[in-house]
């Protein structure tokens, strides 16, 4: 009966479509012998002329079993510690919402349902009832049944903090074991120095050598100054394209000789051999030109005010990083060197002032982008209110009277518009973070993750809850005296929006991750304009897109578990699908481009703490609004305890994610040579 009521509120046809999409996706067979996805299959099928097999399109549950049986060690060895942390975010959320779901569905939902604050509930006509009768709003004011919600808030808060501590401790231990068991890496013994002061008497290279040789005579090894070598990069890209052409011609000639016995009359084979020789000579000329340019760059190329400084031990590099090198904090700025594959070059030569200005500009642009995004949010709010729509557009009155149209407009269309608008947010935030002065792709992605999280919380949660202009929203949120009561009034009223939002946006996103529809369409569009010999590069998971999405659904679940428990089953379905699908993607689709060794987890922890505190403040206001003052008073210490717990975790675990430990020893003695560092960072 509850399901029928929900189907009516969301839209029966919409729910059936999502349900069919879910079942088909679970049975959809992923490629077993290719660690790729559809665009790569398309590329390999055309270039290698693989025979098409109809059974690849027949649904099969084999990939589900393989993803389910994947162990943590196998996931770690194939995709790295970041993938393991991402999956722990999903399993952590599953534990939290399974516990909260048992309390919410079997305890809180009946209490909410049997209240009569709103209206009398017709037990034989659930489909005709509003979703509000399943929320805390239906419980009578001053009722002792509200103490059940009070206990539920304490129980879920305690269980969530316990799980947060357990996960933080576990991932910190995995990070420590990762450093202690892995081979020594060059960037662990290297720091990056930028904003190096210039001198007319000596070059930047001489300044770096004398500066660090004087400060760290026993641990300093060598350095490499960053030079601007745009011409060399152009030559290298040309040589790469020529190499691809030669390899493609050789593979085609080999296949043709095998199929046709040396070509047709021996003509085509000779032409290909001539082309291979021609491209080979060009490649040799470019190689000589590159060596000449490199020799010139080491002598006359413009030196950037940045350098990699190498040390004999990791302890020496850590000491040089943590100690302030100069009395002027804007000069000789040091930071840990990123891994060679993680380096982001554009901001290496920028001064302290340019980086500071770029960060300020990014903050202003983010604020303006956040304000401008209120346009689709206001449109979504208008679609959820049909009376307001009829007032604004009187000619739609006859259309809005049709039940099917009403279900689509109020149940599915708002979430669809919001979802399509949110697709733009991760790329935009990634671009803004890239011009903020970071020197590694991982730092850019973590910064973009934080921006996307707070953008989503503000524009999807608060903008939907507190409808109105940006000034009205700021006034409501910054009014600390009334913040709890405002939240208690506004948040439960939007349960009828966020439950369909999880069912449509959440399920659709995670299922589109399995099908990879957009990359497939993009590959079809790009293929006529690209060369056939171009290799397909396996993608990496966009953490700044998927981590904020899961964290936002976690915020909705924690916030609404006692207000509208009916949201929990939809979140559990989403998380179960995500658990299977992302494990499959890590096996067959994604390949890691860099390794942060779990540095995304502090972002997860802080976001969950924010969700807990927000839920507890809403509980304080809800109990006060329901005229149960003792429960409101006894809930006030809960945010304080949560913040104290967060302070403890930051002091206990966060340093492990920001610096290396001196106690961690490598399994073998490290012998470092200068050319190892130069080859790792500069090739």
pLDDT in tens, 502-518: 887 888 888 888 777 77
For residue 404, give both structure tokens. Answer: 């099917």
Tally of CA atoms within 13 A in the half-sphere of 350 that contains its CB: 17
Three-state secondary-structure class, residue 327: coil
C-alpha radius of gyration, the chain, whole number: 29
Q: Which residues, 6+ apart, have CB-to-CB distance to 636 below 8 Å?
A: 620
Alpha carbon 139 to its chain's center: 38
CA-based nearest residue to 408, from 5, 94, 68, 15: 15
Sheet holding 303-311, edge to edge: 220-227, 303-311, 190-194, 333-336
pLDDT at 144 over 80: yes
pLDDT at 43 over 60: no
d(Cα 131, Cα 126) in Å, to the nearest integer?
10
What share of the chain in percent tops pLDDT 90?
23
pLDDT at 45 over 70: no
If one compares 616 and 183, the residue with the highest pLDDT of the two is 616
pLDDT-derived band at 423, boundaries 50, 70, 90: confident
Position 552 scores a pLDDT of: 94
Orientation of helix 517-526 relative to helix 38-47, angle to 10°? 30
Position 384 scores a pLDDT of: 54
d(Cα 660, Cα 145) in Å, to the nearest integer?
51
CB 581 within 8 A of CB 517: no
pLDDT at 593 over 90: no
pLDDT in tens, 183-232: 777 888 889 888 888 877 788 888 899 999 989 988 898 888 887 665 66
d(Cα 421, Cα 353) in Å, to the nearest integer?
35
Q: Look up tokens 């002792």; give the residue.
A: 144
CA-based nearest residue to 136, from 117, 155, 151, 152: 117
What does each C-alpha distance from 175 to 178, 179, 180, 515, 656 come to in angstroms?
A: 5, 6, 9, 32, 8
Position 17 scores a pLDDT of: 43
The H or E element that residue 568 is part of is helix 567-588
If one compares 91 and 375, the residue with the highest pLDDT of the two is 91
d(Cα 427, Cα 420) in Å, to the nearest integer?
13
Three-state secondary-structure class, residue 130: coil
CB 603 within 8 A of CB 167: no
pLDDT at 139 over 80: yes
Average pLDDT, the chain: 75
d(Cα 254, Cα 269) in Å, to the nearest integer?
9
Position 637 scores a pLDDT of: 94
d(Cα 573, Cα 31) in Å, to the nearest integer?
24
Position 437 scores a pLDDT of: 80
Position 395 scores a pLDDT of: 58
CA-based nearest residue to 594, from 443, 450, 425, 435: 443
**Positive/negative CA dihedral, 243, 249, 251, 257:** negative
pLDDT at 607 over 90: yes
If one compares 421 and 45, the residue with the highest pLDDT of the two is 421
pLDDT-derived band at 650, boundaries 50, 70, 90: very high
Cβ atoms within 10 Å, residue 114: 13
What does each C-alpha distance from 101 to 3, 93, 247, 451, 620 come to in angstroms?
A: 16, 12, 57, 30, 21
Q: Kindly report the three-state secondary structure assignment for every residue of 196-237.
A: CCCCCCCCHHHHHHHHHHHHCCCCEEEEEEEECCHHHHHHHH
Range name among 430-434, 582-586, 667-671 with the lowest pLDDT average: 667-671
Range name among 244-248, 292-296, 525-529 with the lowest pLDDT average: 292-296
Q: Which residues, 6+ apart, have CB-to-CB distance to 674 below 8 Å?
A: 221, 222, 310
Three-state secondary-structure class, residue 362: helix
For residue 251, give both structure tokens. Answer: 């593979």
d(Cα 424, Cα 429) in Å, to the nearest integer?
9
CB 303 within 8 A of CB 198: no
Measure CA of the first residue to CA of the last residue in the chain; give whole Å: 65
pLDDT at 383 over 80: no
CB 208 within 8 A of CB 309: yes
pLDDT at 429 over 60: yes
CA-based nearest residue to 207, from 93, 276, 306: 306
Cβ atoms within 10 Å, residue 137: 22
What does each C-alpha distance from 102 to 7, 99, 133, 152 come to in angstroms?
A: 22, 5, 19, 11
Position 377 scores a pLDDT of: 66
Cβ atoms within 10 Å, residue 62: 11
What's the rounded mean pLDDT across residues 487-510? 81
pLDDT in tens, 434-486: 888 888 889 999 999 999 999 988 888 887 777 644 555 555 555 556 677 77
d(Cα 149, Cα 111) in Å, to the nearest integer?
9
pLDDT at 599 over 80: yes
What's the rounded mean pLDDT across residues 81-104? 94
What share of the chain in percent tops pLDDT 70?
64
For residue 30, give both structure tokens. Answer: 């992923």
φ/ψ region of 332 (left if φ > 0, alpha if ψ in -120 to 50, else beta) reads left
Q: pTM score, two decimals?
A: 0.77
Range name among 409-423, 464-478, 480-494 with the lowest pLDDT average: 464-478
If one compares 596 and 535, the residue with the highest pLDDT of the two is 596
The DSSP line for 242-304 is: HHHHHHHHHHHHHHHHHHHSSSSTTHHHHHHHHHHHHHHHHHHHHHHHHHHHHHHHHHHSPEE
Task: Parse the chain into domains and list their residue ranges.
Answer: 3-184+354-527+541-682, 186-251+274-338
d(Cα 393, Cα 346) in Å, to the nearest integer?
51
pLDDT at 181 over 60: yes
CA-based nearest residue to 572, from 47, 1, 98, 60: 98
């Amino acid at each position: 009966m509850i399901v029928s009521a929900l189907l009516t509120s969301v839209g029966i046809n919409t729910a059936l479509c999502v349900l069919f999409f879910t079942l088909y996706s679970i049975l959809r067979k992923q490629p077993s012998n290719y660690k790729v996805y559809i665009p790569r299959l398309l590329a390999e099928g055309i270039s290698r002329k693989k025979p098409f097999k109809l059974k690849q399109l027949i649904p099969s549950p084999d990939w589900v079993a393989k993803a389910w049986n994947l162990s943590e060690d196998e996931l770690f060895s194939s995709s790295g510690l970041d993938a393991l942390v991402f999956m722990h975010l999903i399993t952590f959320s599953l534990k939290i919402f399974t516990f909260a779901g048992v309390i919410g569905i079997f305890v809180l939902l009946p209490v909410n349902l049997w209240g009569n604050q709103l209206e009398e509930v017709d037990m034989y006509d659930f489909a005709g009832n509003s979703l509000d009768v399943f929320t805390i709003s239906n419980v009578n004011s001053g009722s002792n049944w509200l103490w059940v919600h009070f206990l539920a808030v304490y129980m879920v808060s305690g269980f969530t903090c316990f799980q947060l501590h357990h996960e933080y401790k576990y991932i910190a231990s995995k990070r420590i074991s990762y450093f202690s068991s892995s081979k020594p890496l060059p960037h662990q013994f290297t720091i990056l120095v930028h904003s190096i002061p210039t001198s007319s008497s000596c070059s930047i290279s001489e300044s770096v050598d004398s500066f660090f040789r004087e400060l760290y005579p026993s641990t300093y090894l060598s350095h490499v100054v960053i030079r601007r070598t745009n011409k060399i990069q152009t030559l290298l890209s040309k040589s790469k394209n020529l190499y691809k052409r030669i390899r493609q011609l050789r593979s085609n000639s080999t296949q043709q000789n095998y199929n046709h016995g040396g070509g047709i009359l021996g003509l085509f084979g000779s032409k290909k051999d001539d082309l291979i020789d021609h491209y080979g000579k060009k490649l040799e000329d470019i190689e000589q030109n590159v060596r000449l340019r490199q020799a010139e760059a080491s002598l006359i190329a413009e030196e950037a005010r940045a350098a990699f400084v190498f040390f004999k031990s990791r302890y020496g590099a850590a000491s040089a990083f943590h100690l302030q090198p100069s009395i002027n904090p804007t000069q000789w700025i040091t930071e840990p060197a990123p891994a060679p594959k993680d380096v982001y070059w554009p901001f290496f030569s920028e001064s302290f002032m340019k980086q500071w200005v770029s960060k300020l500009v990014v903050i202003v642009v983010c604020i303006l982008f956040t304000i401008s995004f209120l346009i689709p949010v206001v449109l979504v709010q208008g679609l959820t209110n049909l009376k307001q729509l009829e007032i604004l557009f009187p000619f739609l009155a006859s259309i809005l009277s049709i039940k099917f149209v009403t279900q689509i407009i109020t149940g599915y269309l708002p979430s669809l518009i919001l979802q399509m608008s949110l697709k733009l947010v991760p790329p935009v935030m990634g671009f803004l973070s890239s011009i903020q002065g970071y020197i590694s792709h991982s730092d850019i992605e973590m910064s973009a993750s934080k921006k996307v999280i707070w953008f989503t919380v503000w524009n999807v949660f608060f903008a939907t809850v507190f409808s109105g202009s940006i000034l009205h929203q700021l006034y409501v949120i910054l009014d600390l005296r009334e913040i709890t009561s405002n939240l208690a009034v506004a948040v439960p009223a939007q349960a009828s929006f966020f439950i369909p939002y999880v069912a449509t946006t959440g399920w659709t996103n995670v299922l589109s991750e399995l099908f990879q529809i957009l990359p497939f369409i993009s590959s079809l569009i790009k293929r006529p304009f690209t060369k056939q010999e171009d290799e397909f590069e396996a993608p990496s998971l966009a953490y700044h897109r998927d981590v904020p999405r899961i964290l936002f659904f976690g915020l909705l679940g924690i916030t609404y578990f006692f207000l509208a428990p009916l949201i929990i089953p939809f979140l559990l379905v989403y998380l179960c699908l995500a658990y299977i699908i992302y494990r499959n993607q890590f096996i067959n689709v994604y390949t890691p481009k860099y390794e942060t060794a779990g540095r995304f987890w502090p972002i997860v922890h802080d976001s969950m703490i924010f969700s807990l505190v927000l839920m507890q403040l809403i509980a304080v206001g809800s109990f006060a609004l329901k005229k149960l003052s003792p429960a409101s008073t006894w809930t006030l210490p809960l945010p304080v305890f949560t913040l104290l717990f967060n302070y403890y975790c930051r002091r206990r675990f966060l340093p492990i994610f920001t610096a290396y430990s001196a106690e961690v020893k490598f399994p073998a003695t490290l012998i470092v040579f200068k050319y190892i560092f130069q080859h790792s960072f500069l090739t």
